[in-house]
Structure 1
């Protein structure tokens, strides 16, 4: 009887794990069939639908969660959470960078090529540091909030070719002049709008909105109730999507394995590079992050991982922290029983700014290129595998930071001095009764 009860409560998690295993097996078996691009597209389509569902729910979830979270706490509590989370994010990013540097300097993955060439090809133009900073500031303050839901700003360098005529005197010394058509290239920078939601801009607006709503006190109760209901409806929709997730994850993993280039064809050097980065991600995920969490909270970090495994698997399949956010929030609030006012502030921000996996990559990749002597390097094959594990590390770190901030930020659910506490408690009861 207990076994049946366990299977019933863990049906979604068990089916997701089975889907991962079946996806890997099916992908390996189908590779030998050498499927056409059309066949691969059809295999990936159910997974693509799952990813689109998650992205569809991401923005309403971010808006409703941050506004209801900040609208139901004191301003000092919000400030304390913000400082703690930013310090934690910065600390883990520094630690991730040090792990990456230590591995790349000890393993030296770029020194295993026998080729004499030292030319490295990289097709992507690198933006300057000032461009990146300015783009970040532009996206933090979007000029059109509606457009920010589908587009973000990016600085691009444009090359203009200007033709002109150069007249020179003839060598005979007469009045005859010879004309030559010449051209010059001039570069200019311009800010353009590119596809992709400006998540950080939406988060900034929602944070300011939530804090302002909090300051209105009881007068903002109607608006707080409105966003509470939006949040509740979104969570119900997430529950429906989650029961489709095993199917989506199965086909996502199968399609990615089928479409991945055979890594044995990329040579020994690239394989060692992948192994180095995977080792860095594993050390950060299994040693550094748990160690930091244990020191700060004196609690078992791996219990957090077990309760967040649904989110970690989804991150592995989708390769997007933002798309995984609905699942992460569900795991944190319903399985870990974390305070919703904390999770709804920390998780949306973390999905945007917390990039521990990216820090490991940022430390290893430049050193690898510096060490590299051999074939022309393209990162296409690496990105397919590496990005997914980086996203898993990011999501794991997001879950742990909620635990750390919750440990150091005590919020009393029954505190009647907070502005709109009643709607939030009402929503929490509905979630526990309807969704768990």
Structure 2
């Protein structure tokens, strides 16, 4: 009877684990058949549909969950949650950067390449770091909210070549005219594809706080967003029953499309071991110890209850796309107050990037070691600051970590030689980084819940909560 009950409550989790195993086995077995690019594309298609479903629900879930969460928080609780979460995010990001730097300086994975020492170029170091900070601020305050749902701001350096006419004397009264080409660089802020999630979150937070202050006058609006939230969660339920199939084809297609890495040498193996060690130390030691100190509770229980979200993060390589699943696990398995989870998780999926911070510390140091470059203490400090800032501003989507790495390399003038090693394994390492990000999001919810005692919901003041029977029906659907 207990086994049957366990299977009923964990059928989706079990199916997802089986899908991961089958995806790895099928991918390894089919590699020997050397499928064409068209075949691989067709294999990946069901997984692509699953990823598109999750991304489709991401923005409405973020907006509705933050507004309804803050709309039901009374008094100074919203401010307490915000301060606690931001302090935690900053602390764990710094800790992740320190862990990454400690391991990469100790193991020195790039030193196995045996390259000779070269001179480092420091041009544009401070300017690039400044661009990262300014872009982060620009995206926090978008000039067009509708545009922010599909694009975000980024500063790019544009090179312009122009001809300069120079007159020179050739003796006597004769003068010759020469055209000299000059290359001039200029910074330009452009809009690039990719939702400005930070800007949307900022607007939703301000909207939710003001809605809270309206009390009864905001009941209609609060009920509207509550209904959107319920509908979105029911749509998530439908997507989750498709998730095992989508995950199966995602993993199979990725393995089939990966080039042979057996001849990449010792350098790549040591790099993978270094980053995996950094992610493991941070997620299995640093974060649990911090959580235990702050709450006096077992952090690994949180990991077990969030297993569905962690597996989805491994498959999708996107903390933003995993957000619907993370919210489901936190609210239904961890039994967290929805007013806390619906505020903390959307913010965490964007700004809490511990795995990316580990990567941002290790990868630039690896490039420096690979090129035989000796970095000064000031260079290491710049890498650390840039890693933390860029990890906060990076989008929670696949490939965002690699784009962030280019910014860090530019911040200290490192060459891009050796970056092909990182590209070769980024598809794999990015998935483990995303798992660390999601695990940290779940733990911060536990920390904030421990220190935030919310008052009971006052149904006489607001109708923003769904009827009790409707909420119970929603919970049954999401188990």
Identify whether the pair has TM-score above 0.5, normalized to the shorter chain.
Answer: yes
Q: Would the aligned equivalents of 1:169 and 1:178 in 2 still touch at CA under 8 Å?
A: yes
* 8 Å contact from structure 1 (residues 73, 419) kept in 2: no
Contact 1:72 1:424 in 2 (8 A): no
376, 397, 414: which one aligns with 2:440: 397
**Preserved CA contact (<8 Å) 1:224 1:423:** no
Map of 1:131 onto structure 2: 131
Q: 5 Å matches for 1:224-243?
A: 224-243=222-241
Q: Distance in 2 between matches of 1:398 and 1:392?
A: 10
Aligned equivalent of 1:334: 332
Hey, what's the Cα distance between the residues in 2 that align with 1:426 and 1:209?
28
Partner residue in 1 for 2:82: 82
Shift of 1:420: 4.5
d(CA) in 2 for partners of 1:143 and 1:405? 32
What do the CA deviations read for 1:237-274 (whole angstroms, capped 9, x no partner)? Answer: 00000000001111111111112222222221121011
What's the counterpart of residue 35 of structure 2?
A: 35
Structure 1 position 382, deviation (Å): 2.3
Change (3 A) 1:118 1:264: farther
1:264 is the counterpart of 2:307: no
Secondary structure in 1 matching 2:8: helix
1:418 shift after superposition:
6.2
Task: Tell me whether 237-246 or 128-137 shows the greater mean CA deviation.
Answer: 128-137
Task: Go from structure 1 to structure 2 and tell me whether the alpha carbon gap of 1:75 and 1:201 turns closer, same or farther (over 3 Å shift).
Answer: farther
Q: Over residues 139-174 of structure 1, what are the superposed CA-to-partner deviations in whole Å (9 max), with x where a residue is unaligned?
A: 11111111110011111111111113222222xx22
Cα-Cα RMSD: 2.1
Greater displacement, 9-18 / 176-185:
176-185
Aligned to 1:143, what secondary structure does the other structure show? Answer: coil
Residue in 1 that maps onto 2:276 = 278
* 2:20 matched residue in structure 1: 20
Give the secondary structure class of the aligned counterpart of 1:220: helix
What is the 5 A alignment of 1:314-353? 314-353=312-351
Separation in 2, partners of 1:111, 1:177: 57
Deviation at 1:428, TM superposition (A): 3.3
2: distance between equivalents of 1:416 and 1:265? Answer: 65
Distance in 1, matches of 2:165 and 2:253, equals 56
Q: State how 1:38-77 maps to structure 2 within 5 Å.
A: 38-77=38-77
Q: Is the contact between residue 75 and residue 211 of structure 1 (CA under 8 Å) also seen in structure 2?
A: no
1:245 corresponds to = 243
Judging changes above 3 Å, is the alpha-carbon distance between structure 1 residues 335 and 221 closer, same or farther for their aligned structure 2 residues? same
> Would you say 1:309 and 2:352 are equivalent positions?
no
Mapping of residues 85-234 of structure 1, within 5 Å:
85-116=85-116, 128-170=128-170, 173-234=171-232
Say if 1:75 and 1:162 are closer, same or farther in 2 by CA, change over 3 A.
Answer: farther
Listed as ranges, the gaps of 5+ residues in structure 1 are: none
2:471 to 408, 423, 428: 428
Q: Judge conservation of contact 1:153–1:191 (CA < 8 Å) in 2.
A: yes
Give the CA deviation at 1:426: 6.3
**Equivalents in 1 of 2:36, 2:370: separation in Å?**
34
After TM superposition, the score normalised by the length of structure 2 is 0.86
**1:188/1:417 CA distance change after superposition, 3 Å:** farther
CA drift of 1:222 comes to: 0.8
CA distance in 2, matches of 1:157, 1:367: 24
Alpha carbons 2:201, 2:346 under 8 Å: kept = yes
Query: Does the 8 Å CA contact 1:101/1:363 hold for their aligned counterparts?
Result: yes
Q: Give, in angstroms, the shift of residue 179 of structure 1.
A: 2.2
- What TM-score comes out, normalization by structure 1 length? 0.94
**289-298 or 51-60, which moves further after superposition?**
289-298
Change in 2 beyond 3 A, CA 1:126/1:376: farther
